[in-house]
Amino acid sequence: MEEYKIILFLCNWGPHTAYQQLQDDGYQIPSEVKMIRIPCTGRISKALLFKAFEMGADGVAIVGCNSGACRYGSGTLKAENNTEDTRNIIDLLGIGRERMRLATFLPDESEALKKFLTGFCEDLKQLGKSPVQPAGLQPVEASGESAQQVIARYDVYSCQDCGKCTASCPLALSGKAYSPRNIVSDIIRGNDTAEKVYADVHACLTCGICHERCPSDVNFPEFIRDMRCLLNQTRVSGERIQPHGGFFQSLMRTMTSKDIRPNRWKWLPKDIQVDPDSKILFFGGCAPYFDAFFKKHQQVNTVDILADALRLLNFFDVRPRLLEMERCCGHDLLWSGDRTNFMRLAKLNVEMIQDLGIETVITACPECYHTIGLEYEKNGISPGFTVTHLYAFLENAIHKGAVTFKPIPHRITYQDSCRMNRREEIIDLPRKLIQRLAVEQFQEMKDSGRSSLCCGNCAWTGCDAYSKALQVKRIRQAHETGSDLLVTSCPKCQIHLRCAMEDPFQETELKMEMIDLTSLIARTICWE
């Protein structure tokens, strides 16, 4: 029988003494338990706890000191929160919340520790092996491509060295020593392996303003994406440039396991009607995971967007099907340079959706829309179904329908989504829909539409002080419109902007209420 693997994060202080006592007493620590001695349970982040599962652990135990006995004060409390969030996340993933445990012991509680360890081992054997097949942290599969080929694909040679890209790049404008023009010329000169180039390639927000401005039509964001894929063939991109310890990349890699049975819809409110025979599928995206991860930190509530999207479909008599085992669309893996695992997710999703005989996929997430609707095909996976953005469905249904909108007692402004802004067929939709709403006032920010500013991050890659400065600038622009409600169309904008509003140095100055356009429509639409 295959060996079980249990990772035991053991605090150096109280419980380690108990552990040693057990060893002194001649107790054989179960061989499946791999102990890692740590300075404090509070230092083991969600990313680290989760990484153990990603790498195939069947169970993870974090063992520390009793709440009042933490040497550093708040370590145990932190560990409790991290454990709770991790349990929620592995539960959503269908790995089973029981595989993650927290326990505390005083130095003299060796017997209790022994009971805990043997009990956990037995329980895990009841549960069976973890369904995760580690995708591995090794460099991604080589495509045999060279930097020259990537340059040629986007005709980067046609760069005129005019510098318009750098002059419009929000990162450069927020003071970072960063220049897309320099990246281009460095890579053309063959400096693609230099440390600085690697860092810069991963700092780009892939927002696309530079491409918008470039007289030679150099598609910089896509060039960057492919360069990331290329550079990461020879090295592990690692957490250094991935905020939150690389948690999200880790989560998405884990979803490539065929055998996991995610429960991503179990939170669905009772009033929502779905139909298991429908030929229309609603693709939700990763919102439930985001909410679970950010629960304590910034009260992100992006599943509301999904619920409201479904309510709007129901309002117009569409009862879609849901894909219980839906995986991440792969956007963030692709844009953080991991094409191999992106392809795995793409294949899994397309296979599952095709098996259900789905004809149309509707989604409310700009990244899912862009990825499933465009990137899958580009990467050689033909979906065989059409992909529609919820806004296109709504605009059509509202145009035809005898519907109206209840007054909204707010002055609003709108944060563009980068992915939506680069797709001609949907670029105007959010504003068309906003014009229909009965708001007190709609005022655009200084930078809006095609030259709109990014929310500060893309694909959980390269968040730093400069992107923070950019976010602060953006939120100030929102305040300058005199609005009291910021409307977004991408769940990530909510997350990143909310994060920036928490900036302790700005205190409450940046705070502003936010709502997704989907929710705003759902809450005010009514029959005439």
Partner 1 sequence: MAKKISKTEVIVTGFGGQGIVLAGKILGMAAALGDHRESTLVQSYGPESRGGACCAQVIIAEKTIQYPYVKMADVLVCMSQSAYEKYKIQIKPEGYLITDRDLVNPDNQREVFDIPATRMAEELGRTMMANIIMIGFVTAVTSLISEKAAREAIMSSVPKGTEEMNLKAFTRGFEYGRSKLKGREKKAAGQTGAIA
Contacts to ligand SF4 by CB under 6 A: 159-165, 169-171, 180-181, 184, 204-210, 213-216, 218, 220-221, 243-244, 456-457, 460, 463, 495-496, 499
Contacts of 507 (CB under 8 A, 6+ apart): none
CB of 5: closest distance to ligand SF4 in angstroms? 30
Contact window for partner 1 (CB under 8 A) among 176-184, 237-245, 496-504, 516-524: 516-524
Contact window for partner 1 (CB under 8 A) among 89-97, 127-135, 254-262, 314-322: 314-322
Q: 181 contacts which partner out of partner 1, ligand SF4, none, CB within 5 to 8 A by kind?
A: ligand SF4
Contact window for partner 1 (CB under 8 A) among 63-71, 221-229, 501-509, 520-528: 520-528
Tell me whether residue 184 or residue 487 sits nearer to ligand SF4 (CB atom): 184
- Evaluate the CA torsion angle 45, 50, 54, 57 in order and state its sign: positive
Contacts of 50 (CB under 8 A, 6+ apart): 86, 89, 90, 247, 250, 251, 254
| Tokens describing residue 513 | 């209420």
Q: 528 contacts which partner out of ligand SF4, partner 1, none, CB within 5 to 8 A by kind?
A: partner 1
Gap between the Cα atoms of 130 and 58, Å rounded: 5
Contact (Cβ atoms closer than 8 angstroms) between residue 150 and residue 278: no
CB of 393: closest distance to partner 1 in angstroms? 13
Tell me whether residue 193 or residue 273 sits nearer to partner 1 (CB atom): 273
Q: 252 contacts which partner out of partner 1, ligand SF4, none, CB within 5 to 8 A by kind?
A: none
Among 315, 325, 392, 423, binds partner 1 (CB under 8 A): 315
CB of 424: closest distance to ligand SF4 in angstroms? 18
Beta bridge partners of 405: 525
Q: 81 contacts which partner out of ligand SF4, partner 1, none, CB within 5 to 8 A by kind?
A: none
Query: What would the x/- binding string for partner 1 be over residues 255 to 294, using CB under 8 A?
Result: ----------------x-----------------------
Gap between the Cα atoms of 109 and 129, Å rounded: 29
Q: Phi/psi at 135 (nearest 5 deg)?
A: -75, -15
Q: Phi/psi at 163 (nearest 5 deg)?
A: 80, 5
Gap between the Cα atoms of 209 and 216, Å rounded: 14
**Under rule CB under 8 A, residue 524 binds partner 1:** yes
Tell me whether residue 377 or residue 428 sits nearer to partner 1 (CB atom): 428
Binders of partner 1 in range 395-454 (CB under 8 A): 400-403, 406
Tell me whether residue 95 or residue 169 sits nearer to ligand SF4 (CB atom): 169
Contact (Cβ atoms closer than 8 angstroms) between residue 170 and residue 454: yes
DSSP 71: T
Tell me whether residue 103 or residue 525 sits nearer to partner 1 (CB atom): 525
CB of 447: closest distance to partner 1 in angstroms? 31
Q: 314 contacts which partner out of partner 1, ligand SF4, none, CB within 5 to 8 A by kind?
A: partner 1
Contact (Cβ atoms closer than 8 angstroms) between residue 159 and residue 94: no
Q: Tell which residue, 334, 373, 312, 294, has the closest CA to residue 459.
A: 334
CB of 400: closest distance to partner 1 in angstroms? 4
Contact window for partner 1 (CB under 8 A) among 208-216, 289-297, 305-313, 487-495: 305-313
Tally of CB atoms within 10 A around 336? 26
Q: 206 contacts which partner out of partner 1, ligand SF4, none, CB within 5 to 8 A by kind?
A: ligand SF4
Gap between the Cα atoms of 243 and 365, Å rounded: 21
**Under rule CB under 8 A, residue 505 binds partner 1:** no
Residues, the chain: 528
Q: 311 contacts which partner out of ligand SF4, partner 1, none, CB within 5 to 8 A by kind?
A: partner 1
**Under rule CB under 8 A, residue 312 binds partner 1:** yes
**Under rule CB under 8 A, residue 526 binds partner 1:** yes
| Tokens describing residue 151 | 């340059």
Burial of 210 (0-12, 13-18, 19+ CB in 10 A): buried
* Helical packing angle, 517-524 and 303-315, nearest 10°: 40
**Under rule CB under 8 A, residue 304 binds partner 1:** no
Q: 205 contacts which partner out of partner 1, ligand SF4, none, CB within 5 to 8 A by kind?
A: ligand SF4
Q: Tell which residue, 433, 484, 490, has the closest CA to residue 456.
A: 490
Gap between the Cα atoms of 140 and 341, Å rounded: 8
Gap between the Cα atoms of 49 and 80, Å rounded: 12
Q: Tell which residue, 340, 364, 381, has the closest CA to residue 426.
A: 364
# residues contacting partner 1 (CB under 8 A): 20
Tell me whether residue 2 or residue 317 sits nearer to partner 1 (CB atom): 317
Secondary structure of residue 282 in the 3-state scheme: strand
Q: Tell which residue, 369, 373, 274, has the closest CA to residue 324.
A: 274
Tell me whether residue 113 or residue 159 sits nearer to ligand SF4 (CB atom): 159
Tell me whether residue 381 or residue 397 sits nearer to partner 1 (CB atom): 397
Q: 523 contacts which partner out of partner 1, ligand SF4, none, CB within 5 to 8 A by kind?
A: partner 1
The count of C-alpha atoms lying within 13 angstroms of the C-alpha of 285, restricted to the half-sphere facing its C-beta, is 29
**Under rule CB under 8 A, residue 319 binds partner 1:** no
Q: Phi/psi at 102 (nearest 5 deg)?
A: -120, 140
**Under rule CB under 8 A, residue 226 binds partner 1:** no
Tell me whether residue 281 or residue 328 sits nearer to ligand SF4 (CB atom): 328
- For partner 1, the binding residues (CB under 8 A) are 271, 308, 311-312, 314-315, 317, 400-403, 406, 521-528
